[in-house]
Amino acid sequence: MKNKAIIISIITILLLGASSFGWYSYYYRDISIQQATSSGVFTNFRDTIPETDTSRQNILLIGDSMAYSLMFRTKNYCDYNNHDLHVVSWVSATSKTYAICDTLEYFVNLYKPTYIIFVIGANEMFAFNAKERVKYFDKIIPQTHGIPTVWIGPPNWKEDTGINDVMMKKFGPRQFFLSKKLHYTRIEGDIAHPDRASSSMWMDSVSAWIKTKSCFPIRLETPKGKNPAKVDFVRLVVTDINKV
């Protein structure tokens, strides 16, 4: 009886260990992919190899002031690939400011985009409660109404306090572009915003990632010619620093 009990215990331990390893492997594989749905629930697409959508897109580039930095090169890409572009650059915006209002939903309803590029995090780089900001993304996600959305992190000028980790954990490497890994030159007298050359490099990197590594690849062939001098866009200004 004693030997039988020992054998049963050993088998139980082995089974528990195997199941734990399987759980860990499933949730923490390098190719972890998550797609946000309109309900704010995430569905895993770890083994999905998406095909490039070659159709014409109606793109909404929206976020904080970094959306302004990206919009010129994005306009190049849209013109060259026959996409439409709408830009909303909300100065000083954070995940919280977008979460507590319906700004994203308003412009989704207005422009009817088929693709969203959401740029956020620059004003949260040093937030002391970065880990708690996931609740704000939970409130933003339903405003996308299931439209394919990629999230672009801030172009770090210093190490952040966790906002990039929060976004990577929330969206995964197939929906979140880690911008801080790039090297930027900044606008003179401005420590945060990349200059025109670096902004173009940034968008080139984002575009390459969208085409080859994102959940939602679309046609984004590299454009020829210089950046346009002007892009029509909506610019929102928030002055309440308590919302940051």
Report residue 176: phi and psi, to 5°.
-120, 125
pTM for the model stands at 0.79
| pLDDT score at 233 | 74
Give the chain's mean pLDDT: 82
Residues 154 and 115 reside in one and the same domain: yes
Residues 110 and 24 reside in one and the same domain: no
Sort strands 42-44 and 34-36 into parallel, antiparallel or unpaired: antiparallel
pLDDT tens-digit series, residues 167-201: 999 999 999 999 999 999 999 999 999 999 999 99
Residue 38: inside a domain: no
| Kind and range of the H or E run holding 235 | strand 234-237
Residues 10 and 109 reside in one and the same domain: no
Q: Which amino acid is at 113?
A: P
Region for 175 from its dihedrals, namely left if φ exceeds 0, alpha if ψ lies in -120 to 50, beta otherwise = alpha
Query: Can you spell out the DSSP letters for 69-102?
Result: HHHHHHHHHHHHTT-EEEEEEEET--HHHHHTS-
CATH of residue 124's domain is 3.40.50.1110
Residues 88 and 48 reside in one and the same domain: yes
Is pLDDT above 60 for 37? no
Residues 98 and 6 reside in one and the same domain: no
pLDDT tens-digit series, residues 66-113: 999 999 999 999 999 999 999 999 999 999 999 999 999 999 999 999
pLDDT tens-digit series, residues 46-63: 446 689 999 999 999 999
Residue 39: inside a domain: no
Q: d(Cα 206, Cα 222) in Å, to the nearest integer?
A: 11
Q: d(Cα 181, Cα 237) in Å, to the nearest integer?
A: 28
| Band of pLDDT at residue 39, cut at 50, 70 and 90 | very low
Residue 229: inside a domain: yes
Residues 94 and 173 reside in one and the same domain: yes
Residues 177 and 151 reside in one and the same domain: yes
Residues 202 and 114 reside in one and the same domain: yes
Average pLDDT value for residue range 1-17: 47
Residues 74 and 104 reside in one and the same domain: yes
| pLDDT score at 25 | 30
Residues 102 and 186 reside in one and the same domain: yes
Residue 37: inside a domain: no
Residue 25: inside a domain: yes
Residues 48 and 21 reside in one and the same domain: no
Residue 203: inside a domain: yes
Is pLDDT above 80 for 34? no
Q: d(Cα 220, Cα 206) in Å, to the nearest integer?
A: 10
Residues 200 and 117 reside in one and the same domain: yes
- Give the chain's domain count: 2
Q: 80: domain range?
A: 44-243
Least confident of 30-34, 131-135, 188-192, 195-199: 30-34
| CA proximity to 121, closest of 108, 106, 137 | 137
| Band of pLDDT at residue 41, cut at 50, 70 and 90 | very low
